[in-house]
């Protein structure tokens, strides 16, 4: 947490291995992150603005990864997307419009979360995932994430202090 311009996004970009132009080292188990070849594969990342393809719900979740029906259904459950899919004429194969124009903001965020979780990351990084959501939708979204329990490490940047009691550790920058 912290005010704008304090380096929250830069910090999570370093943790995610997306930014390596900084002084010092970032170590995981005493190993510099840039020496861990598989590090990025362990990361699921949801930024505050992400691209939605003019394609199906399924293709927006799996992107170019191998399709696994069991995995997709599990992620749909975790991200509370069942009602959206049931409401669509072609279900998971229904198109959602350019930039997700046929979805609500909360549905777009849940698609983004499903995409971030599809490859079973060990670490989920969320950069202001609720910034465009109303309070009730944001609360529901955070509760979906918390259902992951201790199966995954969650690193989230937020300005919303009402979520601070839901996480184990809070770092204020």
Predicted confidence at residue 76, as pLDDT, reads: 92
d(CA 46, CA 43): 10
d(CA 130, CA 117): 17
Q: How many CB atoms lie within 10 A of CB 171?
A: 11
Predicted confidence at residue 167, as pLDDT, reads: 82
The band of 114, judged by pLDDT with boundaries at 50, 70 and 90, is very high
pTM higher than 0.75, yes or no? yes
């Amino acid at each position: 947490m912290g005010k704008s311009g304090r380096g929250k996004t830069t910090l999570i970009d370093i943790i995610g291995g997306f930014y390596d132009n900084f002084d010092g080292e970032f170590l995981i188990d005493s190993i510099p992150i840039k020496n861990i070849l598989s590090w990025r594969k362990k990361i699921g990342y949801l930024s505050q603005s992400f691209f939605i393809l003019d394609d199906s719900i399924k293709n927006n979740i799996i992107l170019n990864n191998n399709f696994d029906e069991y995995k997709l259904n599990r992620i749909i459950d975790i991200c509370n997307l069942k009602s959206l899919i049931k409401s669509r004429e072609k279900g998971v194969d229904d198109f959602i419009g350019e930039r997700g124009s046929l979805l609500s903001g909360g549905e777009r965020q849940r698609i983004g979360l499903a995409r971030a979780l599809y490859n079973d990351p060990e670490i989920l990084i969320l950069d202001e995932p609720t910034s465009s959501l109303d309070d009730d939708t944001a609360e529901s979204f955070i509760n979906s994430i918390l259902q992951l329990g201790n199966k995954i490490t969650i690193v989230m940047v937020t300005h919303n202090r009402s979520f601070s009691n839901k996480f184990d550790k809070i770092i204020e920058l």
